[in-house]
Structures are given as C-alpha cells and as structure tokens.
Amino acid sequence: MSYTEELGIRAKAAESAAASASTLVKNNALAAIAKALIANKELIISENQKDLDAAAANGMSESKQDRLRLNEDRIMGMAKGIDELIAMNDPIGEVIEGFTRPNGLTILKTRTPLGVIGIIYESRPNVTVDAAALCLKAGNVVILKGGKEAINSNVCLGKIMREAIANAGLPADVVQVVEDTSRETTTELMKLNGYVDVLIPRGSANLIQAVVRNATVPVIETGAGNCHVYIDASADPEMAVNITDNAKTQRPSVCNAIESLLIHKDCADKILPMIAERFKSHNVKIYGCERTMAILDGIEKATEDEYATEFNDFIIAVKVVDDIDEAIAHIRKYSTRHSECIVTSSLANAAKFQKEVDAAAVYVNASTRFTDGGEFGYGAEIGISTQKLHARGPMGLRELTTIKYLINGNGQIR
C-alpha cells in the first residue's frame, strides 16, 4: 500500500464524522485551531524561518519569499480569518429550493459536503490554514499537498491543527498534510480515485496545467492570474494611476495583481509618465510596445512572452491601444480569465467591457486586488476558480459543497 493510499483510507474513515458534525462541533474545532495558532506563533515563525533560509539559499525572488513568509501579523490574520469563518452561516443542510410534484412527492434541494478534497498548492503556507478551516466548516475532509519550499511551515501548521481538531472531538484525520514532497507522491494524489472526490490545484499556471493534464480525479482549476487594467480615453488620470499602482505593487506575488496595462492612445502621453513616476518607488520594470517606448525612456520592448507571462513580481507589460475593442481583443488573447479592470468615465464603455470580457471578476474603476474571498464577504477562500463548471471566482464555503436531493413520499411508485 502506498503512502497516498494510506492518506486516502484515513481520509475516508474521517469523512462521515466531518459530514455529520454539527455546526457547534465544527465551530469549536475552528476556535481551537485559532487559539492554537496564536499559542504556537513562535514555533510557527521558527519553522517558517527554515523555509525562508532555504528559499534565500536557492535564489528565490524577494516577492516570492514574501508569499512564503509567516510573521506574527500574518499568523494573527489567519486566526482572525478563522474567527470570521466561525461567525458565518453553515451551508450544510441548507435548503436551496423545495417543491411538491403533482404525484405528492416533496423534493428538497439541499447542500451537502463534497467529501474528500485534495489541494495541491505552492509557496504560501497560509493556504494550509485557510483551506483546512474552510473545508472543515463545509463538512469536508482535506488532504493538503504544499510545495517543498514550505514543507517545514506546512508540517508544523498541520500538527497544530490536527491536535486542536482532536481536542475538539473530531477525528484528527479531517485534516492531513502530505509530508512527502516528491513528485511521485503528487502524481499519486492526482490519481487517487475512490478516495479523493475533487482536486483543487492552487499556484502557478504550470502547476495548474500539470494537474489538469495528469489527474484522473475531477479537478477545479484555480489561481493563475494574468490580469489586466485597461485605461480608457475618458479615465480620470488620478484614479487611473492609483488603481494601476495598487493592482501592480500592493502585493505583486498574488494572483489578483495585474501583469499588463493597456491604455488608450488619446490619454497615454499624459497618464503613462504619471504611472511610471509612481512605479519608481517600487523599482517596477516596464516592458512596452513601440508606442509605449516612444513615451517612456529606458524601458524594454515587450514581446509575446511578456504579454503572456504571470510575473508575480515588480514587472509589468504595457501596450498602447487604439480603442476599447483592441483592448478587449488583447485581453481575450492573453487573459487567464481571472480578474480584469477598466478605468473609465464612460457608462457605455463600462457596460461593454463587463459584457464582453470573459473573466471570473470584471471591474469598473476598482483594483483587481479585491478578488478575494474575504473582500467579497465569503471569509477565507480555497482559491479563485477560473473555470466555468460548478464554481467560478472566489471559492468560499458554498463552493465547497455539492447538491443532495431529499425526496419524501407516501408510497408513490412509477
């Protein structure tokens, strides 16, 4: 029996207890996790430092090290996120709709857990806690497979959560962290049919596509974010600069940060220098088309590769476009269907952009950094789904459920 099969067997053994647990029991377990995280923050930071030291030795970029880093504020933030999750309504058992058929059958459409969820992710150890907490609240069991760059952090967080869960009266195996970082184990998890009900990859486009291509377990795609801001001719310059700066530099390593800027030719001469000046404080590297290069000095020419790349860094690709149609065409070609934004004073162009751009989140005059479960009021999130089946956008509690029909009769036969 393989290591992953053992995880699967233990997960299935815990599934019934997780699915049938009352809201009170689940909330008590979540509260125990939040308390344990705070109580063990020094241990967590110590184990995280091992990962950070290894990352620095391996030449990981500063922005990606930021994704990996856990400090007191971030640990307190994870605990706060759990407290917010506790306050949210439990979706399990919720009646979505109900009706009575002409033959007297009553049919209720209700929410029920997905079952055993496998999550494969990279770098960010806060995902370990966010994902475990969400899955637990939604009555699911979770197997967490983080990247080797965060293994010490993830194992530490897993042990803390499992002990807290057990002390609250649920099986510890409601949450399991894969401690084997080999590719073989990852591949086995992708094919753990009969044990894992759904697999959710969260990370780079390469990771997500590797899972989609190789998994035999059903997959929900999340995460890859080649996001854009389009500045329309009628845009307020100050608003355009603020939104572009926030969407690129506030936290460039996350999936809802923008990677490309599109700007209408009629306002490019005025607004692009303003944006470039704002970017200087973060040393943002700019690639641009020929028209951009004619406006801004000292930038490099953008190629197909730059427009197609999710940099996750202080790097951006810029293109000057003739009109909104060219901007939308560019987005259709390069977008990962995550989050897209238009800055405009035109109601017609705002409506056109939101109607014609195909993405999970389409913004008018607001930063793409808001595509987040917490910012949408869902509490923590599993990830941002960029696919179209079952769930799209921030995956909160309800997106971690499926449907169960409850039918009651009094002897009907067909």
Where do the H-state alpha helices sit in 215-346?
Answer: 237-249, 265-279, 290-295, 304-308, 324-334
- Residue 302 in tokens: 């953008």
What domains sit in the chain, N to C, each tagged with a CATH number?
3-222+382-408 (3.40.605.10), 227-370 (3.40.309.10)
The whole-angstrom separation of Cα 166 and Cα 127 is 21
The whole-angstrom separation of Cα 268 and Cα 271 is 5
Tens digits of per-residue pLDDT, 92-149? 999 999 999 999 999 999 999 999 999 999 878 999 999 999 999 999 999 999 999 9
Percent of the chain with pLDDT over 70: 99
Question: Which residues lie across from 318 on neighbouring strands?
Answer: 261, 288
Tens digits of per-residue pLDDT, 337-386? 999 999 999 999 999 999 999 999 999 999 999 998 878 877 667 878 88
* Burial class of 166 by CB neighbour count within 10 A (0 to 12, 13 to 18, 19+): middle
The whole-angstrom separation of Cα 145 and Cα 176 is 9
Give me the mean pLDDT over the 6-32 stretch. 97
Q: How many residues does the chain have?
A: 414
